[in-house]
Each structure stands twice: as C-alpha cells, then as structure tokens.
Amino acid sequence: MKLTISDVAQLLAIPETTLKRWIQQGKIPAIQDRNRYSFVKKDLIKWAKNHNIFLHDDSRENLSKNPQSEYSVLEAMKKGGVFFNVHGDNVTDVLRNVVSTAQIPFDVDKNLLYDMLLQREKLASTGIGSGVAIPHPRYPIENFVGSTIITTCFTEKKIDFKSIDGAPVFVVFMMLSPSTDMHLKFLSRLSYFLRNDSFISLLKKCSEPECLFDKVEKIEKSIDG
C-alpha cells in the first residue's frame, strides 16, 4: 500500500514542510516518481519502529485500552527518579552519567546496561525529536524483573543525539522494561505524551519533579478516562 506526503504527515503528526525536508535529507524512505513522492506503508512502519516513532493512528485508540494501574507512566517515572543538570558533552558521556544516576534495582549490572544502551544507539538514534531522547536496551536486561522504570534526566548541556529532526537533546527518558511487550506499550504511551505541545513546553522549563509528575498525571487521566 502506497501513501502520499499528506497521508504520512498526518501519521507522523508533523507539517508537510518538515516531511519534505526529511525526504530531501534522506532521513525517511520515500519513492520519487518525477516530481511526486510516495511511501510504502510497510517500509514506513519499519522505519518508525527503528526510530522509536509511533504513527498517529496507533496512539490514542490503543492507549485507552491499557489500564492505568498496569501501564502508568507516572508510576514508572516515580520509580526511576527525576534528575537535573546531568553532566556530559556527548551521547556516550550523558548515557554513562544517566546510568550511574538512575534508581534501578541493585542486581542490575550497570556496566552491562551502559553497553546495551550504546549498542542500541549504534543501530539508530533514540533521539525522537523536539529535544527528547528515549534510550533503552534493544532487549530486556538480564535480572530485571517487576514493572517498567523510566528515569528522567535533564542534561546540563544540549546534546547532539543525531535526532531525526536535528534538534539537540535536553531531556532523556531512559526506559527499562522486563519484556519487549511491556516496553512497546510504555513507549507508545510516552510517545503520546510527547505529541502534546504543552508537555514539551513544560519540559523546557521544568525545575522540580512534582511539576513533571502533575502534568503526567493530568495527561494520563485524560488517556485512561
């Protein structure tokens, strides 16, 4: 099935001008026929998954089916902790400091986790745009059991994560889940939050955990309500 520029812009919830720029920069797979561009849906879906981007028609309908108690981003963030002025001049330094700072179970090997995060970045950047990155292991980490943990780290400096939109990253949400299925469900919910302009605006001026938690709780209630 082929999609038009208009179709894909709606699926990604971005302006057509941004999509056209991504095409010209070779950031998204597109087919050119004379002066027109089209997309193969299965290729677009694969690209979106590789870049941690959820297509717009996958979001709210599926999210509303998830009970808040089981897939609560708020609870996952509280478990992982919120940290400010995390040091680092580049991706590797920031990830090292995120791992060392994160509130994760004592039996999780932090050195192994760090290596897994770096391996995932080599496959494709976890910078999803708008100054946000969601680093995570490609596979569930050994000895990690229980529920998903999201560690929120605001970086001291803006970091070039090679994000799809080219914007430097200022906030990192490191996500650890006990299973791939759980990871995808939380990634879907968190991605929905990041489509909310007011949420992004809050992230840019957030200075304390409660500020973030209050906003997350309001958005989550609107999803599950």
Examine the pLDDT at 59 and tell me if it is beyond 60. Answer: no
Examine the pLDDT at 39 and tell me if it is beyond 50. Answer: yes
Question: Residue 16 sits in which domain range?
Answer: 2-50
Decide if 64 is inside a domain: no
2-31 burial string, b = 16+ CB within 10 Å, else e?
ebebeebbbbbebeeeebeebbeeebbebe
Examine the pLDDT at 82 and tell me if it is beyond 80. Answer: yes
Of 10, 67, 54, 75, which is closest to residue 223 (Cα–Cα)? 67
* pTM > 0.85: yes or no: no
Do 41 and 89 fall into the same domain?
no
Examine the pLDDT at 27 and tell me if it is beyond 80. Answer: yes
Q: What is the CATH number of the domain that holds 132?
A: 3.40.930.10
179/144 Cα distance (integer angstroms): 9
Do 106 and 154 fall into the same domain?
yes
Decide if 140 is inside a domain: yes
Do 106 and 185 fall into the same domain?
yes
Decide if 30 is inside a domain: yes
Look over the chain and give the mean of its residue pLDDT values, rounded to a whole number. 86
Decide if 57 is inside a domain: no
220/123 Cα distance (integer angstroms): 31
Q: Identify the pLDDT of residue 81.
A: 94
Decide if 62 is inside a domain: no
Decide if 58 is inside a domain: no
Provide the domain count of the chain: 2
Q: Identify the pLDDT of residue 205.
A: 94
Decide if 59 is inside a domain: no
Do 88 and 140 fall into the same domain?
yes
Examine the pLDDT at 206 and tell me if it is beyond 70. Answer: yes
Do 40 and 135 fall into the same domain?
no
Do 89 and 169 fall into the same domain?
yes
Q: pLDDT-derived band of residue 211, with 50, 70 and 90 as boundaries?
A: very high
Q: Identify the pLDDT of residue 156.
A: 96
Do 46 and 123 fall into the same domain?
no
pLDDT in tens, 130-151: 999 999 998 888 767 678 999 9
Q: pLDDT-derived band of residue 200, with 50, 70 and 90 as boundaries?
A: very high
Do 127 and 25 fall into the same domain?
no
Q: pLDDT-derived band of residue 225, with 50, 70 and 90 as boundaries?
A: low
Q: pLDDT-derived band of residue 13, with 50, 70 and 90 as boundaries?
A: low
Examine the pLDDT at 11 and tell me if it is beyond 60. Answer: yes
Q: Identify the pLDDT of residue 67.
A: 45
Catalytic residue among 51, 56, 87, 136: 136
Do 118 and 155 fall into the same domain?
yes
pLDDT in tens, 153-187: 999 999 999 988 889 999 999 999 988 888 888 88
Q: pLDDT-derived band of residue 101, with 50, 70 and 90 as boundaries?
A: very high
Examine the pLDDT at 60 and tell me if it is beyond 60. Answer: no
- Looking at per-residue confidence, does 185 or 87 come out higher? 87
Decide if 61 is inside a domain: no
Q: Identify the pLDDT of residue 157.
A: 95
Catalytic residue list contains 87 = no
Q: Where are the alpha helices (DSSP H) in the chain?
A: 5-12, 16-24, 41-50, 60-63, 73-80, 91-101, 110-123, 180-193, 197-205, 209-224
Do 41 and 139 fall into the same domain?
no
Residue whose tokens read 């920031």:
94
